[in-house]
Amino acid sequence: MSTNNLTVLAAKALTRRFGGLVAVNNISFSVNKDEIFGLIGPNGAGKTTLFNLITGLIPPSEGNLIYQGQEIAGKKPDEIASLGIARTFQNIRLFGELSALENVVIGRHLHTKSNLFTGVLGIPPAPQEEKYSQEKALELLELVGLQNRIEEQAKNFPYGEQRRLEIARALALEPQILLLDEPAAGMNPSEKQQLSDFIKQIRNQFSLTIILIEHHVPLVMGLCDRIAVLNFGQLIALDKPAIVRENPAVIEAYLGNE
Ligand SMILES: Nc1ncnc2c1ncn2[C@@H]1O[C@H](COP(=O)(O)OP(=O)(O)O)[C@@H](O)[C@H]1O
Ligand SMILES: [Mg+2]
């Protein structure tokens, strides 16, 4: 596997077992800075498990994860988040009872290292920090087009807007790497195109590295610099979209079904 000074994240022989099931099987790859890196494969292939490993929700059974030269495998989620890796979830995880603004401020608090429960849930943080967080949160809500609905409870937003709100919350962390788990799920074709443009925009604006799990093949092919294909926990292809698309193993495992 090639690793160079552009590498921000590298998985080395990464394996995760659940009992007898090998959900992620001896996977090695590296992701370059500012890259939009696609992750595709059938349901159950191990894509979300890979995100859970990278973000520390679960530890690997074997192998290493190197982020900016540092081993992160086995670190706790809040520690990995504070190092600059943010994510969204396949099953949206917002605080439904809280407002859009409060949801983004919570994401920001991870970054400022003040307690998650300050401000929003009771204990007031330092006034300077609070003001900064609110301003940052408002900017991000504007970026995702929700600036007119900042007081609305998250649970009242339609699906596509909840996904955008979740992206705003992840960006509040000011991450180096943003992991998006099926962000276009439940969106209509025009929302999908907007999302694709938006992902490119934030990559450029924030100099972000993005790893994207997505089933909508045209979106992935049009957006990603490189695409990794998982099947039954194994990495069966990793290359530029035009090459992955012609790969017989990929067509057999995944694209043939589309
Ligand atoms: N916490 C868990 N406990 C047991 N099995 C799991 C767990 N998480 C995922 N799996 C299993 O691992 C495999 C990969 O799942 P997942 O990573 O969610 O796939 P994908 O995101 O590619 O659809 C599936 O067979 C799934 O049932
Ligand atoms: Mg998944």
Is 1.10.150.130 the CATH classification of the domain at 1-84+175-258? no
Q: From ligand 1's centre to the CA of 255, what distance in Å?
A: 21
Model confidence pLDDT, tens digit, residues 11-21: 999 999 999 99
Nearest CA to ligand 1 atom 11: 23
Cα 157 to Cα 114, 126, 127, 171, 256: the distances in Å are 28, 30, 29, 19, 35
Tokens at residue 233, please? 């926990």
d(CA 40, CA 47): 7
Predicted pLDDT of residue 1: 47
Q: Can you give the pLDDT of all 258 residues of the chain as single tens digits?
A: 445 569 999 999 999 999 999 999 999 999 999 999 999 999 999 999 999 999 999 999 999 999 999 999 989 999 999 999 999 998 888 999 999 999 999 887 765 555 444 445 555 566 666 776 888 999 999 999 999 999 999 999 988 889 999 999 999 999 999 999 999 988 888 889 999 999 999 999 999 999 999 988 889 999 999 999 999 999 999 999 999 999 999 999 888 755
Q: Whose CA is nearest to atom 5 of ligand 1?
A: 18
Predicted pLDDT of residue 141: 96
* Ligand 1, residues at Cβ distance < 6 Å: 18, 21, 23, 41, 43-49
209 three-class SS: strand
Concatenating the DSSP letter of every residue in 122-177 gives: SS---HHHHHHHHHHHHHHHHHTT-GGGTTSBGGGS-HHHHHHHHHHHHHTT--SE
| pLDDT at res. 133 | 83
Cα-to-centroid distance, 149 and ligand 2 (Å): 29
**Range list for CATH 3.40.50.300 in the chain:** 1-84+175-258
| C-alpha 44 to ligand 1 mean position (Å) | 6
Tell me which residues have their CB within 5 A of the ion that is ligand 2.
Answer: 47-48, 90
Cα(228) to centroid of ligand 2, in Å? 14
Distance (angstroms) between ligand 2 centre and the Cα of 186 equals 14
Residues 6+ apart with CB under 8 A from 133: 105, 108, 109, 112, 119, 125, 172
CA nearest ligand 1 atom 3, residue: 18
With the most atoms of ligand 1 within 8 angstroms of its CB, the residue from 14, 17, 21, 22 to mutate is 21
